[in-house]
């Protein structure tokens, strides 16, 4: 498979005319690799510093130039028994040995992963590259290679995603290639530092979900499923992504005619029932791996209630509440419990659940309106009006109601997750 990919890459870059083939490492490529290694060593995790700016400013042509030396460097990580036959290959081997000693290969790879992660996260604060993808002739060749099951190396990633808002397509953008390359580097740590790989995949998934980078998240979570299929946090992230696709802000896109014709691109939005079933399965698997994952239990209960399985949903949410979740998860649990009780016609219980939710977030509109509706269903007009009268300026504050961020999943905690990752790499 490696030989087939190398041949495909050679054919792709040959279309650039002056670009070297992947089988050779010209001095310019070796020099670019050395500059990259220097940036890895100098980067301060969590900062849009000069090292991150250096990486962010790379043109596609520069990545093509760097790729031959980078491919050989990564092949040495895979211990493919390469023999140095040219001065350039010996220089790559010397660099490999150097970083293996200082700071040590696992530490170097963690720092490399973080450099490209930060280049993506802080993209708006860093220089824009002079071009955003391959020339048209090269793009066509790469598309043809993909149709034959070949993918370009991560360094030459050039995906594009559709942008949408308010239920309509509004344009498209280039994916940030740093994500694909960071994954390729991070995966080399699966054996020496598996805990870092899990933490990195989870934190990056949280960032993508928090910022609505669902095109990036789709590919990221597909790779996570292959790299660490039974990690509970990554199972949860995958479930939250599938659940998000079933929510109204995505499902309405299925009715937008431009969905099917946006400059020849296509966005796959599965039907709500299909993606909800996938999310349900992933939440169940999360709980099999980690029965203490309370938010997975809460979200599974919401999906089951949505699909009409009220009794199982009620059992799950009761169990979740009995385990005393905190913060936003406690709030979600009471909101979901209120909805389940209403679906079962238990409006007194529903009203109490919404009141319990208000004990956690007193100005949350979702809980206030839920309580009003439950009271209305038992014909208690004073109790129906009281929550509505509580609505005011404080209820309009975004942070007053966690339900607004339900679709973010772990994205609610992205700042803490990324901060822990930066600290870990900085040690």
Give the lowest-confidence range in 74-83, 190-199, 259-268, 379-388.
259-268
pLDDT at residue 16, as a whole number: 37
Is omega for the bond preceding 6 within 30 degrees of 0, making it cis? Answer: no
Query: Does residue 408 have a pLDDT over 80?
Result: yes
| 114 Cβ contact partners less than 8 Å away, ≥ 6 residues apart | 43, 45, 421, 422, 425
Per CATH, the architecture of 310-406 is what? Answer: Alpha Horseshoe (1.25)
Higher pLDDT, 145 or 86: 86
pTM of the predicted structure, to 2 decimals: 0.89
Residue 21: pLDDT band by 50, 70, 90 thresholds? Answer: very low
Per-residue model confidence as pLDDT tens digits over 226-244: 999 999 999 999 999 999 9
Q: How far is CA 229 from CA 138, 277, 295, 367, 402, in A?
A: 34, 18, 19, 36, 29
Q: Across the chain, what does the average pLDDT equal?
A: 88
Maximum Cα–Cα distance for the chain, whole Å? 86
Query: Does residue 23 have a pLDDT over 80?
Result: no
CA 340, chain centre distance (Å): 30
Cβ-count burial 126-158 (b if 16+ within 10 Å, e if not):
beebeeebbeeebbebbeebeeeebebbbbbbb
CA distance 400 to 408: 16
Residue 146: pLDDT band by 50, 70, 90 thresholds? Answer: low
pLDDT at residue 297, as a whole number: 98
Give the lowest-confidence range in 12-21, 24-33, 379-388.
12-21
Residue 165: pLDDT band by 50, 70, 90 thresholds? Answer: low
Kindly list the domain boundaries of the chain, sorted by start residue: 1-156, 159-291, 310-406
Give the lowest-confidence range in 85-89, 142-146, 221-225, 315-319.
142-146
Higher pLDDT, 214 or 6: 214
Is omega for the bond preceding 103 within 30 degrees of 0, making it cis? Answer: yes
Per-residue model confidence as pLDDT tens digits over 409-426: 999 999 999 999 999 999
Cβ(185)–Cβ(113) under 8 Å? yes
Q: How far is CA 312 from CA 302, 343, 419, in A?
A: 10, 12, 38
Query: Does residue 14 have a pLDDT over 60?
Result: no
pLDDT at residue 260, as a whole number: 53
pLDDT over 70, % of the chain: 84
Per-residue model confidence as pLDDT tens digits over 237-290: 999 999 999 988 778 776 666 555 544 445 568 889 999 999 999 999 999 999
pLDDT at residue 421, as a whole number: 97
């Amino acid at each position: 498979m490696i030989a087939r990919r190398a041949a495909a890459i050679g054919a792709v870059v040959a279309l650039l005319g002056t670009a070297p083939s992947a089988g050779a490492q010209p001095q310019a490529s070796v020099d670019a690799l050395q500059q990259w290694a220097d940036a890895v060593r100098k980067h301060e995790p969590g900062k849009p510093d000069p090292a991150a700016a250096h990486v962010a400013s790379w043109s596609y042509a520069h990545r093509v130039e760097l790729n031959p030396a980078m491919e050989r460097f990564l092949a040495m990580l895979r211990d493919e028994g390469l023999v140095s036959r040219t001065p350039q290959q010996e220089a790559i081997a010397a660099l490999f040995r150097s970083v293996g000693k200082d700071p040590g290969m696992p530490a170097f790879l963690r720092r490399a992963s973080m450099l490209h992660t930060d280049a993506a996260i802080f993209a708006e604060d860093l220089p824009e590259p002079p071009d955003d993808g391959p020339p048209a002739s090269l793009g066509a060749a790469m598309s043809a290679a993909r149709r034959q099951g070949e993918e370009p190396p991560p360094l030459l990633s050039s995906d594009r995603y559709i942008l949408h808002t308010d239920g309509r397509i509004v344009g498209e953008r280039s994916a940030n290639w740093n994500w694909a390359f960071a994954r390729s580097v991070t995966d080399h740590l699966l054996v020496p530092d598996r805990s870092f790989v899990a933490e990195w995949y989870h934190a990056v998934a949280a960032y993508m979900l928090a910022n609505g980078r669902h095109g990036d998240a789709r590919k990221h979570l597909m790779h996570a499923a292959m790299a660490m299929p039974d990690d509970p946090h990554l199972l949860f992230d995958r479930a939250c992504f599938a659940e998000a696709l079933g929510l109204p802000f995505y499902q309405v896109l299925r009715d937008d005619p431009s969905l099917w014709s946006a400059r020849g691109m296509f966005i796959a939005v599965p039907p709500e029932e299909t993606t909800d079933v996938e999310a349900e399965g992933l939440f169940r698997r999360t709980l099999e791996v980690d029965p203490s994952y309370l938010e997975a239990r809460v979200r599974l209960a919401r999906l089951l209630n949505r699909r009409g399985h009220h009794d199982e949903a009620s059992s799950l949410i009761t169990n979740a509440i009995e385990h005393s979740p905190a913060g936003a998860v406690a709030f979600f649990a009471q909101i979901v419990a209120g909805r389940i009780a209403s679906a079962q016609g238990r409006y007194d219980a529903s009203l109490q659940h919404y009141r319990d939710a208000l004990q956690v977030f007193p100005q949350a509109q979702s809980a206030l309106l839920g309580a009003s509706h439950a009271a209305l269903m038992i014909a208690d007009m004073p109790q129906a009006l009281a929550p509505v009268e509580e609505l005011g300026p404080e209820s309009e504050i975004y942070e007053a109601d966690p339900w607004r961020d339900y679709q973010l999943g772990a994205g609610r905690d992205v700042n803490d997750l990324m901060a822990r990752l930066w600290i870990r790499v900085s040690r």
